[in-house]
Amino acid sequence: MNTMLFTPISIGPVELPNRIAVPPMAMYSARSGVVQLFHKMHYGHLAASGAGLVCIESTAVSPDGRITNYDLGLWSDECEQGLKELVDLMHEIEPECRVMVQLNHAGRKASSVRPWRGPARTLPPMEGGWRVRAPSPIPFSDTYTTPREIEFEDCRQIAEDFGAAAARAARAGVDAVEIHTAHGYLIHQFLSPLSNHRIDEYGGALDNRCRFAKEVMNAVKAAVPANVAVGLRVSATDWVPEGWSIEDTIHLVNLAKKEGCTFVDVSTGGNTPDAPIPVGPGYQVPFASRVKAETGMTTFAVGLIRDAWQAETLLREGAADVIDIGRAMIDDPHWGWHAANRLHVEKVPKLVVPPQYLRGLSY
């Protein structure tokens, strides 16, 4: 049968061979920001998963922007070389697989412990942590330190760090760059009134709170060639009435569209630890659907989308243009192959099964 899931789509200058994407999922396994063998195994396998796009995890634009000591980074020649080796490997394994990297600064959620090392908290200097910065001196929770407020003149420098990292990513051969404006990290902290209490040009009114995001977009767009797609990952809501809202998100995405961004990946939450999030299958899809309808931006949907027919139905209903398969892809690294079988695709797309693996479909 003909399916939408296996129909090509363009995200600006880059064509994806199908509409399956692997979203960024942090592995917390780098050393000094540099790619390790684990990453080559992990992303090499995902390149052969059947996904048309694989996004490399949250990659810090500066050392103090890391979520943990073990985040990938892109602030040095060594970091750039490691990323290039990884991207080259992924493209060699499956030339049709498009590779994206997510650029991030963690702000007040930086210097954290790795998730499997105990409850979330700020890592103190005696344990290898560092002093964290944020739009306002408001801690994420009572287990996180109070951040130092970012000076006005430093805002532009951090935006330039995003641009410098984007230039390195382009030289490393990525097909697309995703700016992380979600999940309670630095750009989201500027956007949300929960975490931004500034009284200068970066705080207060919505356009002021969007100012830093706009400066980052401009820096990234200026740093990459025209054949590299640039987009955003957004949290469409903070899940609390006084926080960042879906209406605010639509404003931001329309702004991003004017600045030349060509796709948006719609998630939610992450900026407050006690938000009442109604987690369930496809729970974030309604936000993606509204963003797509009201902005016209190529939209990715994410959030407990596990089944091929579920993904196909969302595309047919017009809820999104691309489907993120995250945890389900970790559980089943050949999810794309199995989706083709489950949807009864008559001619298996080239990307879904590398020729070396075709015999795996014969039993």
Count the Cβ atoms, other than its own, within 10 Å of residue 354: 18
Task: Report how many helices (DSSP H) and strands (DSSP E) the chain contains, helices first.
Answer: 11, 13
Q: Measure CA 139 to chain center.
A: 23
Count the alpha carbons within 13 Å of 303 in the hemisphere toward its beta carbon.
Answer: 25
* Long-range contacts, 308-311 (Cβ 8 Å, 24+): 308/5, 308/338, 308/339, 308/342, 308/343, 309/342, 309/343, 310/281, 310/282, 311/5, 311/20, 311/339
Catalytic residue among 28, 144, 185, 202: 185
How far is 279 from 282, CA to CA, in rounded Å? 8
How far is 275 from 88, CA to CA, in rounded Å? 40
How far is 179 from 358, CA to CA, in rounded Å? 36
How far is 18 from 56, CA to CA, in rounded Å? 18
Does 202 participate in catalysis according to the annotation?
no
Catalytically active residues, by annotation: 185
